Structures are given as C-alpha cells and as structure tokens.
Structure 1
Amino acid sequence: MPQRAATVVGGGIGGLAAALALHRRGWHVEVLERAPEFTEIGAGISLWPNALRALEVLGLAGTVRSRGAVESAGAVRDHRGRRLSRTDNAEVERRFGRPLVVLHRADLLRALAEALPGDRLLPGSEVSAVRDDGGHPVVGHRGGESRPDLVVGADGLRSTVRRRLWPDAPGPRYAGYTAWRMVTRPLAEPPGEGTVTWGRGERFGCTVLPGGRMYCFATASLPPGTPSEPAEHAELLRRFGSWPDPVPALLAAVPEDAVLRHDLYDLPPLPSFVRGRVALLGDAAHAMTPNLGQGACQALEDAVVLAHCLDGTPDVAAALRSYDLLRRPRTQAVARRSARLGVIGQLSWPPAALLRDTAARLAPARLTLRAMTPVLGWTPPGDRTTTGDGGND
C-alpha cells in the first residue's frame, strides 16, 4: 500500500496525539497550527489510567510519567473544610492498573511534539477553508493548499473544520460558570493530596505538580461573558481568601500575573464525528466540562482509536465510520457525566448543597471508584488487560 497522507488541523494535545499515532503507522502527516508556536500555558492536567493506556500505545507513557507527579490521594471537602470523601490513588492503581498522574499541560504537549519529526509541525498555518472535491478533502491554509487522503479536525471548541463541514451543527453552549486556573510557586510543604472544596455556587480545587508546585482551579456561577476583573488574583482573594485551608496559602503562592480565567462551555452532541474522509477529534468533536478531568484523556483515546481503525485498510471513509461508531457514544456519555457533576458541584441553594454534601459523606469510596469503571477502565482496541464497559451511561 502506498504511503498515505493526513492533514491534522490543530496542534494541541489531541492533534499532536493523532499525528503521532498515524505517523507511527506509516502515514505522512502534517500538523497545521494557527499559533506561531506549539505550546500550552498556565495549567495542569490530570492523566487518568485510561489516558496512560493510550500513551502506552503512543510509546510515551514512561516519558510522561517521568515529567509528572502521582498524588497520594484526592479529597472532597465542604465549605467548612470538613472531609466528605477521599480517594486513595493506590486503590485507583490497584483497580485500574495505572495511577493518576498530574503534570503541566506544556510538558505533555512538549512530549508529543518531540516525538514527531520537526518538519511535520507547521505553526502559523491558520486554516481558511475545508471542502470536499469529488470525495477528496481539500484544506486551504496560510501556506497554500493540502489535498491529503485524510483530514483530522482537532482544532478545539470553536473548530473551523466543524464550522465548515458541519454548518448546521449547534455551537458551544455555556455550562453556567466561569473558571480560574493557576499554578503556584514551589511550596516548602505542599499538600500531600489534591482537594476540591465545594461552596455555594463556587468551588476551589488543587492538585499536586512536580517540584513542589500545585495546580489550582476555581469556579463561580456567573452569567456568560461577565467581564474579567482588572486583577483576577484580587478577585480570587475576594471570593476564596477566607475559605478553609489550604486555599488561602495556595492563593498566596500564586503569582499575581499567573491567573487565567475562561468561561466554560461544552458541545451539544453531534450526530456524527465524520464527513467522508474528514474526522473530528477531541474538543472539536465532544468538548466537555473539566469536572471529570477527562477532556484531554478522551482526546488521547480518540487518537489511538482513529489510527487503529485506519490501520491496514485502504478505505478511509469506511475506517472513519468505524471510528465514529466506537468513539461517539463513549465520548458523549463521558461529556454528559461531566456536565452532571458540574451541576452538582455548583449547587448554590443551601438545602440542595447540604443534601449533596451529606450524600457525598455517606457514599463508600469503593462505590465511587466502581462508578468510575466505565470511564477509567477503557482499554485500547486489541488490549484486554483491563476490563471496562466502554463508558456508556
């Protein structure tokens, strides 16, 4: 079979993972990224056992684990700091075969980019057109025009590929709350476990990064488009500065200019992730809220499954239909679960929040982990070392 060519639109985690998965199976790949360089800023990322399995297929699990940190545990606390639940990471690893690894997003992106030939990465290549020419996809971009055998739309929440080829698909929808993300300076005595503190219409969470740093995030229920504050760090202090430990100490360790704020959106379910020889992947296909920490994890799964479906068959369109059947039900189910968790976490009416907190305190930890099996128990195609039901509700 002659070498086939793929154009990946979008150089984020999902796009680079797809490019690497295809490259390792003999495809000639180009990655078009509109930004002037391949980089991520300002935030941590949680890689659950399902993501680590995908990275094993890509040959990067060891590299990524060496650049990350393994938390001892994660806890949920109420607005007074009382522990409601705790998840032991050793139990996660025992049950699912891999631990939870946390690292900076930039470190994951760098690992993916370094595994690809440098001449396949084309920054500053904004895509202006995607069309079908007699069953063959055509991509117009700043560097000219590409006519590959396959186009992968991995260009995020506001995907150009999706907008061009799925013009009637609904756009992103606001989740109901905004989010702040930040990374602390190295701490002399960082917390040994990650925590999420539930307030009333607000949350604050943290997780361990290498080098004594912590990745922190916060949410607040606000109307979409609420203007950002001139000093977001001061706004965080106003909202969360009097919350229980370790929140005040973490905020004190965050540089004032290191706070990112974004309204959170997800994507209404698409009827298909494919059009002919074009496939959507990651946020372009199934953008979800971050409540389960599964956005990038699902994109890594997408990349591995896409390459698997294309392996050994000359019929790209048929392979993409298989990809759609494998990925769309699972990812949309995970997105629904994440959205439900966000609604619960953002409850602001005191009686409802009290009921939520009580239920969390009474639920056995083993049942919580068992409920996560459909998400975390995923295995790559052909791998049966761990069981899972595919993630359907």
Structure 2
Amino acid sequence: MGRRRVEVAGAGLGGLAVGTALAQRGWRVRIHERAPELRMFGAGIWLWENGLRSLRLIGAEEQAVRNAKRIKQWAVVDEHGDEMFRRAFTDDDKMVLPLRADLYQALIDAALAAGVEIVTSSTAVAADPEGALILDDGSRLRADLVVAADGAFSKVRDSLMLTDKVSYLREGYIRLLVPQQPGDEDAVITESWHGTRRFLYCPCSDEFHYVALSCLVDDRTGRGVPVDKESWAASFPAFSDIIARIGEDGRWDRGMTVRCRSWSEGKVVLVGDAAHAQAPNLGQGANMTFTNAVSLAAAVSGANDIPAALRAWEQRERPLTDHVQRWSHGYGWLVSMWPEHLAEVRTKFLQFATSIPWVDAQLNRAARHIPVGDHG
C-alpha cells in the first residue's frame, strides 16, 4: 500500500503543526493557504510546558525559542498594586515567550524539512466526509484524511454542519510589540487589572516586549486604534513608560469561543480554532492546538478505520480542551462582569481562590499535561 495522503486547509500554527506531525509519520501532506504568502500577524505568544513538549516532538521547539525570554513568574495585581495571584515556573514546568513570527517560521521550517508541500493562494471552502477537500475553483482533492485548520470562521467546519455555537465575548484585545529598553523587567509577566480593563506586560525578546490591552466592547476609548495612550496610562500609571512606547499600529479583536457538535465527520477532522477557539486569558489556545496535533497524528497513523480513530481521538483529548476553554472564559468573567465598585472584594476572592490547591490544579491542568508520544 502506498503512502496515505492528507489535505490540510490552513497554514497557520495548527495546520503546520499537524501537517508536520503527520509527515513525520509517513503521510504525504499538502497544506493549502488562502493568502498569497505565508505571513504571521500578531505579537508574542505564551508557550507553556505542554506546548513546548509538543513542539519538541515535531522538531520545532529549539528554533522557536532561540531568541525568546524564559519567564520566571506570572504576577497578577490590582489597581492598587496589590498582588492577587503569582505563578512561578521551574525547569520542569516552563513558560517561554517568543515572538509569534519566530514560532511561525520555526513551524514552516519544520514542515518543509519533513517534506510537507505548502500551496499558497489556495482557498478551501468545503469538504466531503468521504475524504475530499473542495477548493474555491471547484477542485475536489481526494485524500485519506482531510484536516480543517482554517480558523475560528472555518468554512470547512460550516460546510459539514459541525458548528454547535459561536459566542462573542464582552471583551476584546489589542496585542502589540513595544521596544525594549535597558532596565526593563525581563523575566516576569505582569498582568494588571483596573475595573474592567487589563494591561498585560510580557518580556519577549532582547528587542521587544509583548503587551496586550483588554477592555469591554462598550469601552470605545479603550478599544480605539491607534491606542489612546493617555487613557490607558491613566488606568495603569505604573506602566506609563511602557504605554508611551506604543506605536500607531495595532488591531482590536473581539474575544470569541467556538464549540462544535463533533470535531470530525467521516474522514474530515477539525484542529485549532476551527474546533475550539477560546478566550486568550490563560494563553493556552495555541498550546492545546499543538498538543492535539501530535496526538491526532499518533491516533490516525496505522489506523485502518480513520473515522473510528478520529472519534476515539476526540474522546480522549476533548475533555481537557473543553476544560481549558471553560476556565479561560471564567477567568475573563472575573474582569468583565465583576461590579467595579466591588473591586476590593474581587482582589480578596482571587487571593483566596488561587491559594486552594484544587483551583491551582484546574488552572494548570493543561500546562502539566504530557502530550501523546512524549516519553520524557
């Protein structure tokens, strides 16, 4: 029997990761990207231990983190500077923060090294559960497996009626890079809360810091681009120097979640945001995508019944992904829905809740998950 073929819709982080993992297991992989060139938008990205382990399995970790900052702690403080939560990282439980562009290039290089074919200006619009990816020019590309990694607004997912619910959140985010300067903190992530606004400061490289500004949809000043630096500095005076370095670019993205009635239909499977887009509050979206990608490749390689293998894979992996999605949404709720006049109560609540071992275990369940195929 010849090598089995997979057609992948989307050359984002998820498409490249799953394509590489499958190619390394002997599949003939072709990835279709609708854009005319491979280009990554975004700033920095949190790589938790589960994501780093997954990237290591496909040979992309070393390059991805070569210029990244190793994070020692993540601290969450309120508008008075009082600490609400602090999470330390160790050699066995790491957090590394690279530029998103560096991670993307590492995944591209790993895919090409594994023999993956990447086709640009190729737009997938649907799929056949019997095993075919359908392009916008009417082409039907037969395959033993079709992977939909075409994002939260996946056309492939919708063509199969796999969408259960798409929910828009009350909050959104502006994510940017700002220049690094001597004396800046370079090993601690600080997340500051003020009312319904949040400011996230992340050391990212020797040249840049990654910052994120979060606010409610109806905070028109807060979500404005270019950023209203005076308004944000008034909310977060401790970071006024960082805020002053913000440039004129940027984009405000409304948070959203995607839930599916199933992650697969026949020989077609969803990965990444197409399957489980989530609020970015715990920084686990891409990490869960990588973890699920390597486990998917293991599940279908050697399987005689692909649809059955996909169902079994979802049954194993989905509970953890759903858990992360729920907890990330709940974390955001504490900011966006908590009454502003009860901010001091929120501080005390978070201090108490995060001191409970069970809560700590839930918040870090994904980060401490060992991906399939990782034997230490």
State TM-score, norm by structure 2: 0.92
Partner of 2:125: 128
CA distance in 2, matches of 1:81, 1:87: 16
Partner of 2:82: 82
The answer to whether the aligner puts 1:233 opposite 2:226 as a matched pair is yes
**What is the DSSP-based 3-state SS (H/G/I as helix, E as strand, rest coil) of the residue aligned with 1:8?**
strand
Aligned residue identity for 1:372: L
**Unpaired segments ≥5 residues, structure 2:** none
Q: Post-superposition shift, 1:143?
A: 8.8
The answer to whether the aligner puts 1:251 opposite 2:243 as a matched pair is yes
Aligned residue identity for 2:175: R
Aligned residue identity for 1:52: L
Matched ranges for 1:199-210 at <5 A: 199-210=194-205
**What is the DSSP-based 3-state SS (H/G/I as helix, E as strand, rest coil) of the residue aligned with 1:215?**
strand
Deviates further, 296-305 or 97-106 = 97-106
Matched ranges for 1:5-16 at <5 A: 5-16=5-16
CA distance in 1, matches of 2:41, 2:260: 29
CA distance in 2, matches of 1:30, 1:143: 17
Q: Deviations over 1:284-327 (max 9, x none)?
A: 00100000100100110111010010122232112111111122
The answer to whether the aligner puts 1:145 opposite 2:136 as a matched pair is no
Deviates further, 314-323 or 156-165 = 314-323
Q: Does the 8 A contact of 1:80 with 1:243 survive in 2?
A: no
Partner of 2:264: 274
Q: 2:311 aligned to 314, 317, 321, which one?
A: 321
Q: Post-superposition shift, 1:363?
A: 5.3
Q: Post-superposition shift, 1:116?
A: 2.0
**What is the DSSP-based 3-state SS (H/G/I as helix, E as strand, rest coil) of the residue aligned with 2:106?**
helix
Aligned residue identity for 2:22: L
Q: Does the 8 A contact of 1:152 with 1:279 survive in 2?
A: yes
Q: 2:291 aligned to 296, 301, 306, which one?
A: 301
**What is the DSSP-based 3-state SS (H/G/I as helix, E as strand, rest coil) of the residue aligned with 1:254?**
coil
Q: Does the 8 A contact of 2:199 with 2:236 survive in 1?
A: no
The answer to whether the aligner puts 1:71 opposite 2:68 as a matched pair is no
Partner of 2:178: 184
Q: 1:244 to 1:261 in 2, by over 3 A?
A: closer
Q: Does the 8 A contact of 1:158 with 1:172 survive in 2?
A: no
CA distance in 2, matches of 1:228, 1:341: 20
**What is the DSSP-based 3-state SS (H/G/I as helix, E as strand, rest coil) of the residue aligned with 2:46?**
strand
**Unpaired segments ≥5 residues, structure 1:** 386-393
Q: Post-superposition shift, 1:141?
A: 4.0
Count residues in correspondence.
Answer: 372
Q: 1:373 to 1:361 in 2, by over 3 A?
A: closer
Identity %: 30
Matched ranges for 1:286-297 at <5 A: 286-297=276-287
CA distance in 2, matches of 1:56, 1:143: 38
**What is the DSSP-based 3-state SS (H/G/I as helix, E as strand, rest coil) of the residue aligned with 1:116?**
helix
Q: 1:105 aligned to 92, 100, 115, which one?
A: 100
State TM-score, norm by structure 1: 0.88
Q: 1:316 to 1:350 in 2, by over 3 A?
A: same
CA distance in 1, matches of 2:367, 2:302: 28
Kindly report the root-mean-square deviation, in angstroms, between the aligned alpha carbons of the 2 structures: 2.3
